[in-house]
Amino acid sequence: MSRTEAAKRIDQLTKELSEHNYKYYVLAQPSISDFDFDQKLAELAELEHQYPDLLDPDSPTQKVGGDITKQFKTVRHRWPMLSLSNTYSAEELKDFDERVRKAIGDHFEYVCELKFDGLSMSLTYENGLLVQAVTRGDGTQGDEVTTNVRTIKSIPNKLRKDGYPPSFDIRGEVFMHKAAFERLNNERIENDEIPYANPRNFAAGTIKLQDSKEVAKRPLDCFLYFLYCDGRDKLFKTHWESLEAVKSWGFPVCEHTKLCQNLDEVYDFIDYWENERHHLSYEIDGIVLKVNSYAQQDELGFTAKSPRWAIAYKYKAQEVETILQSVSYQIGRTGAITPVANLMPVQLSGTTVKRATLHNANEMKRLDLHEMDTVVVEKGGEIIPKITAVNLDKRINDTKPFVYPTHCPACGTALIRRDGEAVHYCPNEEGCEPQIIGRIQHFASRKALDIEGIGDETIVLLFKNQLLHNVVDLYTLHEYRNKLLTLERFGEKSVQNMLEGIENSKQKPFEKVLFGLGIRYVGETVAKRLCQHFKNIDKLSQATAEEMALVDEIGERIAQSVYEYFTNPIHIHYIEQLKQYGLQFEIKEIEAKLISSKLEGQTFVISGVFADMSREELTQLIVSNGGKMLSGISGKLNYLLAGDNMGPSKLAKAQKLGIPIISEKDLLQMIG
Ligand code: IVH
């Protein structure tokens, strides 16, 4: 293809893909399959690769991130980012309404909007192109996070239609949907990474990541709710009109915005969303009331901190009283103790709450919980309910206080608490049952060695029957086939399945094994980084903490933890044994050589026989282009690579889940 032809095709693909992005992310009405979209995107990426000078920073390919920001620049806002005055009461809203009437008379309208619980962002567009994104900061100046914001799919890098001012600022809220938050936060918990308390914190933490590729992996969204530009009042008479216009330029504007003629209509809006908000896919913490007319907004003006023409009405966190029945202490695989309150089941924000986290000993001390106390349970921004207070009026006389244990409730070992940490640990790593079981479960889990045929309950059963004492024992289980067959729930087929699963785990890559060892603070990403850097376990285990801390994304705390792990002779002994059983403790050549990242983030399953290549060759091709192999068909799968004679059940399952089925040829096209 000539350069001119390429430029033309790039232009066409850019337009098409931007339109599809808009339909998918802003209108939520896709008109093309994911597969077709990905193919077009791959074609565009390839052309941009061939002609790097034709790469437009606003190209849809740039939504995957790539640039790293070492330090965010501080930028002054052209129009300060003010906050809103807040109220929790209907009376104060009436006072606000009266103040407004006094100033501008009785003829005006309100725009009622949802108050999104995220972080506010100011976007600057010049000639229809996103040129800058800045956080609120102190309201006068904030951090420039343009590279990261460019990865947010619903934010247009280039505007769709004409009619926008040559230069303007638009303000809105960046947030994470509840479902994405729960999924990603659960992954963090599984990976022993510190979870975020709520979607807002997760979104805020994400926008400040240095690597925009990581940002692109965490789905953020945005609603825009305010426009600033020179001569704005000549373009639009009202805020409502401006929202309609920005919508037509391609910005995501929340559909639940309503024009209200009086306070009663506002109250109805508030009442409606008080309950309905729990059915939204994102969190809101109230509603925002804005006087619609720009002329009237000008008349009302500002106080030092906030506009007089707007106010936020915040919903109280939902709370309910119930009886505390007992406190149990969970022991995690790293020995960390988490106190949990067992409650009399109660309805709260549309779900039944039976348990609440008590976090740690400090929190228990603060609450001074007694047996059968009536406690106040709250579900606010936090997904996990928490106990905020005890209703002392309802305390029963002479009930005993709950005292935080000094010894492990499972094994009796004295608990320890490290300097500066709130959490207690049981140090009896080798003798404390829940820790041992938890470690084996982690080792076999989907994200680690992904051993098929052995679930959490099976591991408990095998442990109780003395067939498993540690992860190494998994590899001797085949010697006990007859004993296994005598166990409850085990038949010929399930034993065979489990033993095959265990055998297959020997082929799992080094990074999965390292993650599976369950070293404190070593999540999936950290494990990957360590493997890429040190290449094999010998180099890693001999490295100093300082050497480890030099690796990208490895902080001192992680480095120290990994270093300490390898000073324990028991750990070294286990690793030696696992090595002898044939587990992978070094990067294989195929993983080390990454030819391209065209398939990054994409998952594949190969099934059937192929005309031109063996399955191994296909696997190598996928992996070396950044793709990932999955062991089975699930909702997580992106593509099923199908050859001849593929099993009908696999095919049916993939079709049912709507997973694109591709051929060898399609794959080759994807990687160009
Ligand atoms: S308008 C001058 N509208 O709430 C206008 N803010 O407490 C200022 N927020 O900093 C903002 N949803 O982060 C506006 N529909 C909405 C909003 C909203 C959420 C946030 C925003 C602001 C804070 C003020």
Q: What is the pLDDT of residue 386?
A: 87
Examine residue 598 and state whether it is found in any structural domain, yes or no. no
- Amino acid in the structure at residue 6: A
Report d(CA 66, CA 666) in Å as an integer.
26
- Amino acid in the structure at residue 95: D
Distance 494 CA to ligand 1 centre (A): 56
For the segment 177-223, what is each residue's pLDDT rounded down to a tens digit? 988 998 888 888 777 677 787 888 899 989 988 888 888 888 999 99
CATH of the domain at 661: 3.40.50.10190
Examine residue 472 and state whether it is found in any structural domain, yes or no. yes
Cα dihedral sign, 21-22-27-30? negative
Q: What is the pLDDT of residue 570?
A: 95
Examine residue 71 and state whether it is found in any structural domain, yes or no. no
Q: By three-state DSSP, how is residue 509 classified?
A: coil
Report d(CA 413, CA 428) in Å as an integer.
7
Residue 340 has pLDDT above 60, yes or no: yes
Examine residue 597 and state whether it is found in any structural domain, yes or no. no
Distance 20 CA to ligand 1 centre (A): 29
The rounded Cα 323 to chain-centroid distance in angstroms is 33
- Token representation of residue 64: 């995957």
Residues 450 and 404 in one domain: no
- Match 């791959």 to its residue by tokens: 42
Residues 224 and 308 in one domain: yes
Mean pLDDT score across all residues of the chain: 90
Residues 607 and 646 in one domain: yes
Report d(CA 244, CA 224) in Å as an integer.
11
Among this protein's residues, is 656 annotated catalytic? no
Residues 93 and 24 in one domain: no
Report d(CA 58, CA 427) in Å as an integer.
53
For the segment 426-455, what is each residue's pLDDT rounded down to a tens digit? 999 999 999 999 999 999 998 899 999 999
Count the neighbouring beta carbons within 10 Å of the beta carbon of residue 448: 25
Examine residue 69 and state whether it is found in any structural domain, yes or no. no
**Rounded to 5 degrees, what are φ and ψ at 186?**
-60, -40
Among the listed residues 8, 73, 94, 115, the single catalytic one is: 115
Distance 113 CA to ligand 1 centre (A): 9
Residues 191 and 108 in one domain: yes
- Token representation of residue 405: 């244990």
Q: How confident is the model at residue 304 (pLDDT cuts 50, 70, 90)?
A: confident
Residues 215 and 343 in one domain: no
pTM of the predicted structure, to 2 decimals:
0.62
Domain count across the chain: 5
Residues 466 and 564 in one domain: yes
CATH of the domain at 27: 1.10.287.610
Examine residue 585 and state whether it is found in any structural domain, yes or no. no
Examine residue 648 and state whether it is found in any structural domain, yes or no. yes
Residues 129 and 249 in one domain: yes
- Ligand 1 pocket test: pick from 135, 225, 284 the residue with the most ligand atoms within 8 Å of its Cβ: 225
Mean pLDDT of 667-672: 87
Domain boundary among 260, 292, 314: 314
> Ligand 1 pocket, 113 CB below 6 A?
yes
CATH of the domain at 377: 2.40.50.140
For atom 12 of ligand 1, the residue with the nearest CA is 115
Domain boundary among 43, 64, 85: 64
Distance 175 CA to ligand 1 centre (A): 13
Which of 291, 255, 361 lies closest to 108 in space, CA to CA?
A: 291
Report d(CA 537, CA 92) in Å as an integer.
64
User: 216, 60 in Cβ contact below 8 A?
Assistant: no
Report d(CA 337, CA 342) in Å as an integer.
16
Q: What is the pLDDT of residue 375?
A: 96
- Token representation of residue 657: 């889940």
Q: How confident is the model at residue 66 (pLDDT cuts 50, 70, 90)?
A: low
Residues 195 and 233 in one domain: yes
User: Which ligand 1 atom lies nearest to the CA of residue 117?
Assistant: 19
Class of residue 583 by CB neighbours under 10 A (exposed 0-12, middle 13-18, buried 19+): buried
Examine residue 287 and state whether it is found in any structural domain, yes or no. yes
Residues 305 and 324 in one domain: no
- CA dist 154 → 209, 230, 545 (Å): 19, 25, 42
CATH of the domain at 542: 1.10.150.20
Q: By three-state DSSP, how is residue 672 classified?
A: coil
Cα dihedral sign, 559-564-565-566? positive
- Match 């790097």 to its residue by tokens: 52
Q: What is the pLDDT of residue 477?
A: 96
User: 72, 145 in Cβ contact below 8 A?
Assistant: yes
Residues 145 and 39 in one domain: no
- Domain span at residue 481 reads 433-580
> Ligand 1 pocket, 257 CB below 6 A?
no
User: 225, 243 in Cβ contact below 8 A?
Assistant: yes
Residues 42 and 110 in one domain: no
The percent of residues above 70 in pLDDT, for the chain, comes to 97
